[in-house]
Structure 1
Amino acid sequence: MANPVDLVEVWRGELLECVHQGHAVICDDTGEIVNAWGDPSAVIFPRSSCKMIQALPLLESGAGAHLSQEQLALSCASHQGAAIHTDRVGVWLKDLGMTDADFRCGPQVPGDKPARDALIRANEQPCQIHNNCSGKHAGFLTLNKHLGGGADYEKIDHPVQQAGKAAFEETTQETSPTYGIDGCSAPNHASTVHGLARAMAFFASAHDRSDLRSTSAVKLRDAMMAYPELVAGETRACTDLMRAMDGRVAIKTGADGVFVAIIPEKRLGVALKIRDGATRASECAIATILVNLGVLDVKHPAAIARMSPVLKNWRGFEVGQVRPAAALA
């Protein structure tokens, strides 16, 4: 990744202690760059930020025609394993006539503290349904049942994943140069930052078109905006910031410093990557970009908490601050 720029600074007292560099692109509905920082052609793994793209075949195939808006939100989610997530995924599995054993995402300790503590008190181990990607994988299972594919739907050569790759390359308008295996065992296809932003702009402008892919994109992005608590969970940046924007913008984080935004009213897509993978930096950067675009109120507590959080020591004293670098601000 050549030519990253300073995007986020961390100050302790009067000394600049840390700088997070990265790349970011704002793209319009024609696929052109409106604004950029760093190198738009930097190749990255989108990680979980592209789940709405991975969910497109679920609707385009007709497999998900019966799914509720809540289930569509979960298909795009990186949830924290709270009851509101696992209960819904459990019902979805039951409706499919399947069990936790049909998943291929692996067990994960819930990020939700009450759910985690309940497992500890019951002396139980987490299941695959607790995995933050279990909603996405429920979507994969739904598509796989429709296609009649083999049980190992996570394999790169499986029809489910081939459909996901096609959707990814067509919406980014790029041939993916490589892929990696994500934490949930599914393939994750690489793109440029520009390509990922271009895909988000496709989702942002989908309401202007009536083709099957565009109508599917509208359903997925609208589900995310309608149910931000299912996309992530309480206290999480995706949930808090989407709530702060009153259902006008869909945003999604990805591991290792990736964030995207879909802004229908402006027909803009945003993608960013923090080079060192720091979550505090990706959250600061996306909040700053959303504020600069006029869709997030800079005074909203959710914006302040991500854009310019105060650092405190263990005694509660303010000792520093995270804030956007000059180029971004």
Structure 2
Amino acid sequence: MKILFGVQGTGNGHISRSRELVRKLREDGHDVDVIISGRKAEELKEVEIFEPFRVMKGMTLVSHKGKMSYIDTMIQLDLARLMADVALLDTAGTELVITDFDPVTSMAARVRNIPSMGFGHQYAFGYDIPLAQGNILAKFILMNFAPARYNAGLHWHHFNQPIFPPVIPPSLYEKNAKLVIKGKVLVYLPFEEIEDITVLMTPFDQFEFYIYGKVSEDRDDGHLHFRTYSRSGFLDDLLECDGVVCNAGFELPGEALHLGKKLLLRPLDGQIEQESNALAMEELGYGMAMHDLDGAVLADWLQLPCREPLRFAKSVDFIAEWIGSGHWEELPKYAAASWSGNSSH
């Protein structure tokens, strides 16, 4: 099958999960052409698996100091460029468009009446799952940023809906996992300023914090260890840590739950997806949330034990089988099968 696959380049979660599905689809013999939008080509890291791929401007959501800025999001929106990219996109022979929250391929599928499939966490919100109140604009953007005809939504729990488990990197299924180091904490708060994170973590010197974010080079400052982005280094630290402090995105919390790490989420203010994720995390009893960089909440969380691993099934295998079947109306059957192999659910 000839597939056009669109990836939202903003944040590493979309790239991480799409990397695995693109690999699986190509292994299954499909011809997959990839578009990445929302981030400049020179800012993309570890995307070799997608080659050959094209980069387009698309649209992205803008935030400042841990808070969504809808005004700046609208200011940076180049609608003329978006429409031009859609018009110039070659879809000849395309039998299916898959979009991981990429508006360019989503719009091209609608304009040209090509079957489309949404892949990712955002597409779970079309079903009955925990949803934060938010504002009308935030909900509209979530549901209409990159819509599709069929949806392979992902979540940490099925909520008795036709959605799939998170996509976990293959290396995190290996039996020879690293020994967990008690008191080692992985910190990934990309929407926060490093100075603010430093102030939050400095008093807790009995713990070792490995902080990934806006730093130019790796450096150690006592119990604070600042790291530039490296997928392999990040996964090594994730395997070794006993807890994760991160924004309330989807991919990293899913990996942490898979491995049995305790979780403290800081949702991006005004971003309804992250606020809903924090709500779901607490409702499920899987972790804690803080709505600002709160030292008192961090202190309580640091004393908690680790949790039992959830050990999610390899969801891309079930999703790729569903895609390849051509029977896309049979989504519930494939979604249910993806959870049945997981005794934790």
User: TM-score of the superposition, structure 1-length normalised?
Assistant: 0.30
* Bigger RCO of structures 1 and 2 (CA < 8 A, at least 6 apart): 1
